[in-house]
Amino acid sequence: MYQRFILALFRNPKQIGAVVPSSQSLARAMASEVDLASQTVLELGPGTGVITQALLSRGIKMQQLILLERDGALAGLLSSRFPDTRVIKGDASKLENLVNPCGSRPIDTIVSSLPLLNMKREDRLAVLQQVFSVLDEDGKLIQFTYSAKAPIQKELASQLDVKGRKVTTVLKNLPPASVWIYGRSVEENSNVLGAKNSEKFS
């Protein structure tokens, strides 16, 4: 699977946004923020499926998962690894058209590995507008970033009418990563302004 990741990285380094797959620690940190009452969980940029597996270990069923992967080879790998999930090959900037045909159930949680800060601002805005258009009113976006900055900076979050907070920092990842949650009903804290979170997920 690591070879598949490296090949995808060579095909489109900006799209992948990392030099190694997410660690098990980061995957568990992301999965731990998913409410087990969620009916439908959408994963954006699942890659080789490290976070997907953590979601399943968390208790989310394959039938509850929708996986959106832009890279065709990785999408094929995901289909074979997780045969009872719905795998969609496509771009997150067209999310609403891709996901709506999947059924009428609301998407409660979106788990994203998209390299938001690597995108041009207009591309990032287009993707996030799609994300929050398919997300349930009380749903949440779980996003990680390698940057000390918030993955959705405050001005952009305000434009999207959402709030966010950093929930943990994962040191056992290369490079270390922070996990943030965003949503219309998310309660902000001081971390959204860039303060460091003292909690470390290992």
CATH class of the 2-185+196-201 domain in this structure: alpha beta
Give phi and psi for 112, each to the nearest 5: -120, 130
Cα–Cα distance measured from residue 37 to residue 172, given in angstroms and rounded to the nearest whole number: 28
The domain spans of the chain are: 2-185+196-201
Q: Cα dist. 136→149, 155, 166 in Å?
A: 26, 22, 21
Residue 6 has pLDDT above 80, yes or no: no
Does residue 166 sit in helix, strand or coil? strand
DSSP assigned state of 116: G
Q: Give the single-character DSSP code of 94.
A: G
Helix axes 50-58, 24-32, angle to 10 degrees: 50
Structure token pair of residue 189 = 């804290």
pLDDT one-digit tens code per residue, 76-126: 999 999 999 999 999 999 999 998 765 557 799 999 999 999 999 999 999
pTM score, two decimals?
0.85
Q: For 70-74, 98-102, 132-136, 165-169, which range has the lowest pLDDT when averaged over its residues?
A: 98-102
User: Residue 76: CB partners within 8 Å, gap ≥ 6?
Assistant: none
For the stretch 22-68, pLDDT in tens is 899 999 999 999 999 999 999 999 999 999 999 999 999 999 999 99
* Number of C-beta neighbours around residue 13 at 10 A: 13
Q: What is the pLDDT of residues 146-162, one digit of tens each?
A: 999 999 999 999 999 99
Geometric angle at alpha carbon 159, from 112 and 17, rounded to 5°: 30
